[in-house]
Amino acid sequence: MRVITIGISGPSCSGKTTITRILQQLVKKTIVIYQDDFFKPDTDIPVDPETQLSNWDCPEALDFERLIQTIQYVQQHHVLPTDYHSNEVNNTHDGSDLVTPQQISEWKKKIHQNNNAGNVDDDTLWLIVDGFMLISDPQLYGLFDYRVFVTASYTTLKKRREDRQGYHTLEGYWVDPPGYFDAIVWPEFLRAHQHVPGPHHQQQQEKQNLDDDHDVILIDTDILSIPEAAETVISALWS
């Protein structure tokens, strides 16, 4: 069986899980791995020295080694490890249910019509990895056949994050304290993604671009609606 691995990355609340769950509906065989399932135990999450808040958005909060091993296991064995249990599937704050069945049907038809490369068949497993810190890690980056970066402006991301109620964690449930986006989420995201272009750079005087990396599909959800964002990814995967 052939395995095609897609990394769908981007800041919190950018829309990556919406894209992930739309793609799940379009192909026959999929496995989804959520990076949010690879946070360390709650008691091991680093504490920000300035605010004394738990820092869930830094690389040190994640178990990258276990995530990489899980991806490689699926690539080799075509199933998830028996010890992988997802909490993220219980987080339903995505917009995939806003896409109509008619639109899903049209996309399926388009995929089959454009299947010149043989990317849709019974012997293809689509492994989708959804996470906020995938293309900033070199070892992870190299595991993907396709890379999608979903982003938006500071204003949009802040509003979406603050409108959410909370997140399931390894040992409980996390709700952002007041000011958490500006104190932790936003600066950590910028620190890890200085090399990636997009509207998240609008507040900065200087912008560092991804070095002409055409392997990354950039999705700006300030500009694109959910169907338009999905259409862009679909067109890139099945061009």
> Does the structure show a pLDDT above 70 at 118?
no
Percent of the chain's residues with pLDDT above 70: 87
- Region of 118 (left: φ > 0; alpha: ψ -120 to 50; beta: rest) is left
Backbone angles phi, psi at 84, to 5 degrees: -90, 115
Give me the pLDDT at residue 65, please. Answer: 96
Backbone angles phi, psi at 129, to 5 degrees: -110, 120
Give me the pLDDT at residue 221, please. Answer: 94
**99 or 195, greater pLDDT:** 99
> Does the structure show a pLDDT above 80 at 235?
yes
Give me the pLDDT at residue 87, please. Answer: 81
d(CA 145, CA 4): 6
Mean pLDDT to the nearest integer, 77-99:
85
Give residue-wise pLDDT tens across range 172-227. 788 899 999 999 999 999 988 877 766 665 544 444 444 445 588 999 999 999 99
Q: At what angle do helices 226-237 and 16-24 cross, to 10 degrees?
A: 60
What residues are annotated to the active site?
36
* Sheet of 146-151, strand order: 30-34, 124-131, 2-9, 146-151, 216-220
Give me the pLDDT at residue 174, please. Answer: 84
Work out the end-to-end distance of the chain between its first and last CA atoms, rounded to an integer number of angstroms: 22
pLDDT band at 239 (very low <50, low <70, confident <90, very high): confident
All residues at 6 or more sequence positions from 178 whose CB lies less than 8 Å from its CB, including other chains: none
Q: Which domain holds residue 134?
A: 2-237
Q: Computed from CA positions of residues 92, 95, 97, 103, in that sequence, does the dihedral angle turn out positive or negative?
A: negative
Taking residue 90's Cβ as centre, other Cβ atoms within 10 Å add up to: 9
Give me the pLDDT at residue 202, please. Answer: 56
Give me the pLDDT at residue 68, please. Answer: 97
CATH of the domain at 161: 3.40.50.300
Give me the pLDDT at residue 121, please. Answer: 64
**7 or 91, greater pLDDT:** 7
Give me the pLDDT at residue 88, please. Answer: 80
Mean pLDDT to the nearest integer, 101-125:
79
pTM of the predicted protein model? 0.88
d(CA 91, CA 214): 31
Give me the pLDDT at residue 203, please. Answer: 47
Q: Encode burial over 73-86: b for 16+ CB neighbours within 10 A, e otherwise.
A: ebeeeeebeeebee
- Give the chain's mean pLDDT: 87
Tally of domains within the chain: 1
Which of 4-18, 41-55, 88-102, 107-121 bottoms out in mean pLDDT, i.e. has the lowest?
Answer: 107-121
Give me the pLDDT at residue 232, please. Answer: 95
Give residue-wise pLDDT tens across range 143-180. 999 999 999 999 999 999 999 877 777 777 888 999 99
